[in-house]
Amino acid sequence: MNNGCKKYIPFQQITLPDRTWPQKTITAPPVWCSVDLRDGNQALIDPMNLEEKLDFFKLLVDVGFKEIEIGFPSASETEYEICRALIERDLIPEDVTIQVLVQAREHLIRKTFDAIHGAKNVIVHFYNSTSTLQRKVVFKKEMDGIVDIAVEAAKLIRELTEKEIAETGMNIRYEYSPESFSGTEMENAVLICDKVLDALGATPENKVILNLPDTVEMCTPNTFADQIEYCIRNIKGRKNAIISVHPHNDRGTGVAATELSLLAGAERVEGTLFGNGERTGNVDIVTLAMNMYSQGVDPQLDFSNIHHVRDVYERCTSMKVPPRQPYAGDLVFTAFSGSHQDAIKKGVDYMKTHESPFWEVPYLPIDPADVGREYEPIIRINSQSGKGGAAFVMQQAFGFQLPKAMHPEFGTVVKAACDEAGRELMPQEVYNLFSKEYLEVNFPYNLKAYKLYEENEDEEAENAEGGTAVHFEGNLRFRHEDHKVSAVGNGPIDAFFRALEQVNIKDYTFVAYQEHAISRGADSKAVSYIHLKDPQGKDAFGVGIDSNISMASIKGIICAINRAAK
Ligand code: KIV
Ligand code: ZN
């Protein structure tokens, strides 16, 4: 980029060598304030209409927000009407405080008071920009002039509030934001905050919210934490204030900056669901809350149905939650890597066998079920996947534990299908190949009817080897002709092999078999893998599934013989 970076002025950190925040941890949630309906809304290509805002408001209430910035009622007629609709339609629960934003300008403040008339609990949030850069290039004013604007606004807001309280008994609180706080000299930020606290008559009983915005994220998150700790230490009226932060995400570290500012003493956080907001967005409250949750801290917000939260958000804002969005994205509880899948499975098994009360699963920071989701292993097979790849899919996705000796044969079938398709195969496609190759093989031999039973116990019949004799009777169709076969053996497989001799199927050698239970749908069945040598000495594999374990083996034998005949 041809040294273009030299035109940027590096951020000047403040000096705070005795900072205390790095030693702290987050042990309790902050007061959350959603600014979705204001900061989030103002950053939409098509701002929400009345019905959308009301739906979103209901979602925020359901999630558990107690402070909700509903808009900028003095900015437009639509915003004004939305505020009135919430109040007049009585849509604001008793324990929820609505917040309205207004610039520190007289006519806008007066209009804002008209808009909130009759609401039970309101925070009047006023702001003016204090940043070094904006003072230089936008306002062309010294800091004194900026302080005057804030103080004049504070006095007017106090006067209108006292009048409104006297007349209506409304509960009105104050919030002041030195906008672009993180781009302001800290002495100036402290100065203006103290002046505003005084002008508003803040007391420990009637605290004012001092909202310190990271309006544009300017440096690594530790610098913001230093700024917050500096202000908390130096604002004289600190005990009369609730320290709030309002981080944006320009450097992609809004969540980190917020978390560090909480360590530094911030008590309240303003942000949005999924981080919607100006430019790169406001801080994402879902991520903040779920990060706390994953550390054993109850965030006091309910994201147990994240799909619903996401659906309402996407419908009302026309924004999309990206697939890798923490906790909510489509792919965040998905494992692509085989070794990750293996470790996850082992973690889940460990929790079961040890009855662990804790979440101890590698690669999944939280239990997906806590946000109403499921872990999803994605197993993809391509022509490079190797002989065991297809067997791995059969095991992970469908529970079939193919014997090692079968892996190369089935691997070759899958590889040929990949080559033919010229792409990766999804697990269901691998299963379909398995089914076609092993489970749907009924020609030239087809076992139409069969019966297996042991010798009557009273007769205590024993065969030559001393085991209980087993009878097999069946109707075996060869090509298009049915043959009745029956034989006795020292076990079901032996009896069946002897019966097969009656239709001239001989010289197959039994090499090995393996079986296990498998749950397909509601019922549990047995699957049997049969390994034979055909009369020419070649390997022949077959698979049988049945609710009876002996019949599963017999089906597996017929399958192997049919495949060898093919
Ligand atoms: O980002 C910001 O500084 C704001 C203020 C109005 C609080 O949105
Ligand atoms: Zn903002």
Same-domain pairing of 78 and 197: yes
For residue 424, the model assigns a pLDDT of 85
* Residue 5 within a domain: no
Please check whether residues 514 and 531 belong to one and the same domain.
Answer: yes
Work out the pLDDT band at 289, boundaries 50, 70, 90.
very high
pTM for the whole structure: 0.78
Q: Is 246 annotated as a binding residue?
A: yes
Helix ranges, 179-334 (H)? 186-200, 221-234, 254-263, 285-293, 306-317
Of residues 455 and 104, more confidence is placed in: 104
Q: Locate 342 and state its tokens.
A: 């293996």
Q: For ligand 1, atom 2, which residue shows the shortest CA distance? A: 215
Q: Which residues contact 414 (CB under 8 A, 6 or more apart)?
A: 381, 385, 389, 390, 425, 430, 433
Ligand sitting nearest the alpha carbon of 210: 1
Residue 6 lies in a domain: no
- For residue range 27-41, what is the model confidence (pLDDT) as tens digits? 999 999 999 999 999
Q: Which of 101, 130, 249 to mutate to test the pocket of ligand 1 (most atoms within 8 A of CB)?
A: 101
Cβ neighbours for 494, distance < 8 A, ≥ 6 positions apart: 470
Are 367 and 397 within one domain? no
Shared-domain flag, residues 435 and 449: no
* 364 and 262 within one domain: no
| Residue with more model confidence, 206 or 566 | 206
pLDDT at res. 459: 47
User: Does 395 reside within a domain?
Assistant: yes
For the segment 332-346, what is each residue's pLDDT rounded down to a tens digit?
Answer: 999 877 778 788 989
* Start-to-end C-alpha separation, the chain: 65
Q: What is the rounded distance in angstroms from the CA atom of residue 473 to the CA atom of residue 489?
A: 11
d(CA 337, CA 367): 19
Pocket probe for ligand 1: among 127, 138, 227, 249, the residue whose CB has the most ligand atoms within 8 Å is 127
Highest mean pLDDT among 223-232, 382-391, 439-448: 223-232
What pLDDT sits at residue 545?
95
CA of 133 to the centre of ligand 1 (A): 16
Is 466 a residue whose pLDDT tops 80?
Answer: no
Cβ–Cβ < 8 Å for 173, 123: yes
- CB contact set of 110 (below 8 Å; sequence gap of 6+): 156, 160
Contact predicate 252/218, CB 8 Å: no
Residues 397 and 303 in one domain: no
357 with 504, same domain? no
Asked, for residue 538, whether it belongs to a domain, the answer is: yes
Same-domain check for residues 268 and 211 = yes
Is residue 52 a part of any domain in this protein? yes
Do 307 and 428 reside in the same domain of the chain? Answer: no
CA-wise closest residue to 313 among 289, 284, 333, 280: 284
- Closest ligand to residue 103's CA: 1
Distance from the Cα of residue 76 to its chain's centroid: 36
Contact 538, 501 (CB under 8 A): no
CA-closest candidate to residue 385, choices 360, 349, 411: 411
Question: CA 433, CA 415: separation in Å to the nearest integer?
Answer: 11
In a domain, 379, yes or no: no
pLDDT of residue 1: 87
The values of phi and psi at residue 130, to 5°, are -120, 0
Cβ of 222 below 6 Å from ligand 1: no
Q: Are residues 28 and 141 in the same domain?
A: yes
Number of domains in the chain: 4
347 and 199 housed in the same domain: no
Q: Is 246 in the pocket of ligand 1 (CB under 6 A)?
A: yes
What is the rounded distance in angstroms from the CA atom of residue 122 to the CA atom of residue 120? 7
* Distance from C-alpha of 309 to C-alpha of 273, rounded to nearest angstrom: 9
Q: Residue 416 sits in a domain of what CATH number?
A: 1.10.1220.20
CB 109 within 8 A of CB 157: yes
Query: What is the predicted pLDDT for the residue at 396?
Result: 79
Atom of ligand 1 nearest to the CA of 181: 3
Question: What is the rounded distance in angstroms from the CA atom of residue 245 to the CA atom of residue 259?
Answer: 10
Of residues 40 and 376, which shows the higher confidence score? 40
Answer whether residue 361 shows pLDDT above 80. yes
Q: Which of 118-132, 168-182, 363-377, 515-529 has the lowest mean pLDDT?
A: 515-529
Q: What is the DSSP string of 88-145?
A: HTT-S-TT-EEEEEEES-HHHHHHHHHHHTT-SEEEEEEEEE--HHHIIIII---HHH
Question: 239 CA distance to ligand 2 centroid (A)?
Answer: 25
Is there a domain that residue 214 lies in?
A: yes
Q: Are strands 334-335 and 470-478 parallel, antiparallel or unpaired?
A: unpaired
Number of alpha carbons in the 13 Å side-chain half-sphere of residue 61: 16
Range(s) of the domain holding residue 362: 338-371
275 in contact with ligand 1, CB cutoff 6 A: no
Residue 522 clears pLDDT 70, i.e. is over it = no
Substitution site in 182, 215, 217, 245 for ligand 1 pocket (most atoms within 8 Å of beta carbon): 215
Task: Report, as an integer, the average pLDDT of 130-136.
Answer: 93
Sequence-ordered strand ranges (E) for 319-469: 334-335, 376-377, 445-454
CATH of the domain at 93: 3.20.20.70
Question: If you average pLDDT over residues 196-224, what whole number do you get?
Answer: 98
Ligand 1 near 259 CB (within 6 A) = no
How big is the CA angle at 182 (ends 178 and 188), to the nearest 5 degrees?
A: 55
* Residue 226 near ligand 1, beta carbon < 6 Å: no
Answer yes or no: do 229 and 251 share one domain.
yes
CA neighbor of 414 nearest in space, from 443, 386, 372, 453: 386
Residue 519 has pLDDT above 60, yes or no: yes
Residue 460 confidence class, pLDDT cut points 50, 70, 90: very low
pLDDT score, position 427: 87
Query: Is the confidence at residue 464, as pLDDT, over 80?
Result: no
Q: Which helix (H) or strand (E) holds 158?
A: helix 143-168
Q: Token pair 């629960």 is at which residue?
A: 93
Provide the mean pLDDT of the chain: 94
Q: What is the DSSP letter of 351?
A: H
Nearest bound ligand to the CA of residue 175: 1
The listed range with the strongest mean pLDDT (397-401, 491-495, 529-533) is 529-533
CB 296 within 8 A of CB 29: no
Inter-residue contact 251 to 217 (CB < 8 Å): yes
Res 381: pLDDT: 80
In a domain, 474, yes or no: yes
Does the beta carbon of 181 lie inside 6 Å of ligand 1? no
- pLDDT number for residue 337: 76
CA–CA dist 382, 336 (Å, integer) = 13
